[in-house]
Every structure is written in structure tokens, then in C-alpha cells.
Amino acid sequence: MSWRARFTALPFWRSGTSDKPNGSSGLRKILYWSPLGIVLCCRIFEVKVITGRSMQPTLNPDWSLSRDVGLFDRTSVLVDEDIGREDIVVLKSPNDQRRKLIKRIVAVEGDTVNTLPPYPFKKVVVPQGHVWVEGDDYYNSDDSNLFGPVRRFPLCLNPCSNVVQVPRGLIESKLLCLLWPLDRFGAIGNHSPPESRAHPAFRRAMAVIERESARRARVTPGPWPGFSPSQQ
């Protein structure tokens, strides 16, 4: 018997019973649709424990006593306007798609990036349908400076093409907020330093701000739409 059949068999579900409580119609609707709501929430959102040090100090900073736990959105990566520079995403490693990485989108298609070692070119224009990702601690990160731009969307095919298998996008979800630890609960991105230079968090906040400025200075926004990808 299905879950719907079980609920409709309950006494308060049947209309016309004398002992039906007030508001039972609303309760029936909640019970009827709640499994669907739970399934949709699980499909749209996911909670992940964040491992690794490549996103320090934004995620899993040394001063934290526990691993960060984040809420991730699976649908925003499918909409062009909902993902862009500075977003933190979960993606499959281009070198081993069984391995999941968490990185920051530094540049989008058309942008020119001044790369870091070991990337073989000093500059690269991000190709169409791709993004450039890096760890915030990029000297301890396997990212686009190692494997190049990351494919975001499936490739578009000509209807007459004989290609059967279409490579899928590697980005799976976007970080919405931190759920744990509670002292850092909420959205990522507020690094305003305390007013007092004597405050313990002052140097940490200033270091993050300087790191962000250096990262953004390496990216030149490109034309949109339409460009000719090239490497220099």
C-alpha cells in the first residue's frame, strides 16, 4: 500500500465523520504533500561537511575547532544569472570525477586571467561555457592553475552531429551559507575588520581583504557576449 493510500485510510481523512477535528483539512494537505516537499528539498538543497584546507581562511580556518558544514544549492548552477565570480561551488575534479572539490569561481567566460604556477601560460581567456576556479589558499590548492578552465554547462551539439556522448558540466552546487560552527553561521563574504586594531580578528580580516584584492586584480573582465578564446 502506498503512503497516500495509508493516509487516506486514516479516520480523520474521510469526509463526513462526526469526530473530524477543526482544521483537519489543512492537516490532511500537509500530510499529503509533505513527502513531496521533503523530496524536492533534498533534490534542490544539500548539506555537506567541508573537508580540506584549500579554501582557508574562508572555510575550515585554523582557529576553528570543528569542520565547517554548509548548505548548498543544486539548482542555481543551472541558471546563468545565478552563478558568477566569487561564488563558492562544489565540482567534480576534471582529473578524477569521483573526487569532489570546493573552490571559488575567480573568472567566467570571456575574462582574462593572469595565471599562477604551474599553469603553462601566463594569461588565459576563459572559453565559452567554462569558469576559472581557485582555492582561497591557492598555493595549497589543486585548481584551474593545475587543470585549466572548468566546463560549467554541457556542450551544445549540432543536430546533424554524429557525436553520441556529450560531456556534462562539472559544477554540481553552490554554497549558500554556513550552518556550522554557530559563531560563523550565515552567508559568506563579510570580512569587515573590527574597529580596534588590538582586536584578535583584525589581522585575520585584513589578510582576507588583501588576498581578495590580489585575486581580483589578476582578472580582467571580458566582453559579453561573444569573444574569441585565446592563450598568450
Phi and psi torsions of 39, nearest 5°: -65, -45
Q: What is the average pLDDT value for the chain, to the nearest integer?
A: 78
Lowest mean pLDDT among 77-81, 131-135, 182-186: 77-81
Rounded Cα distance between 53 and 67, Å, is: 10
Asked if the structure places residue 170 within a domain, the reply is: yes
Note down the domain range covering 200: 46-156+165-220
Cite the active site residues.
54, 103
User: Is residue 147 situated within a structural domain?
Assistant: yes
- 196 pLDDT higher than 80: no
The reply to whether 98 falls in a domain is: yes
* pLDDT attached to residue 113: 97
Whether residue 7 has pLDDT greater than 50: no
CATH code of the domain in which 85 resides: 2.10.109.10
Q: What is the pLDDT at residue 210? A: 86
- How confident is the model over 204-211, as a mean pLDDT? 80
- pLDDT tens-digit profile of 68-78? 999 999 888 77
All 3 cell numbers of residue 82?
A: 545565478
Band of the pLDDT at 193, cuts 50, 70, 90? low
The whole-number pLDDT of residue 71 equals 94
Task: With cut-offs at 50, 70 and 90, classify the pLDDT of residue 222.
Answer: confident
Q: How confident is the model at residue 21 (pLDDT cuts 50, 70, 90)?
A: very low
pLDDT at 12 over 70: no
pLDDT at 138: 83
Strands 100-108 and 219-220: unpaired
Structural domain contains residue 216: yes
- pLDDT of 86 reads 93
207 in a domain, yes or no? yes
> Is the model's pLDDT at 13 over the cut of 70?
no
Q: Copy the grid coordinates of residue 128.
A: 565559452
Those residues with Cβ within 8 angstroms of residue 48's Cβ, 6 or more apart along the chain or in another chain:
69, 70, 72, 90
Query: How many angstroms separate the CA atoms of 95 and 116, rounded?
Result: 19
Grid cell digits, residue 117: 604556477
The answer to whether residue 228 is domain-embedded is no
Does residue 198 belong to any structural domain of this protein? yes
Q: Is residue 149 part of a domain?
A: yes
Mean pLDDT, rounded, for 166-176: 79
pLDDT of residue 25: 67
CB 109 within 8 A of CB 128: yes
85 with 107: CB under 8 angstroms?
Answer: yes
Chain centre distance of CA 46: 10
d(C-alpha 88, C-alpha 60), whole Å: 14
The pLDDT of residue 160 is 43
Q: How many domains does the chain have?
A: 1
Report d(CA 165, CA 23) in Å as an integer.
53
Whether 143 and 135 have beta carbons less than 8 Å apart is answered as: yes
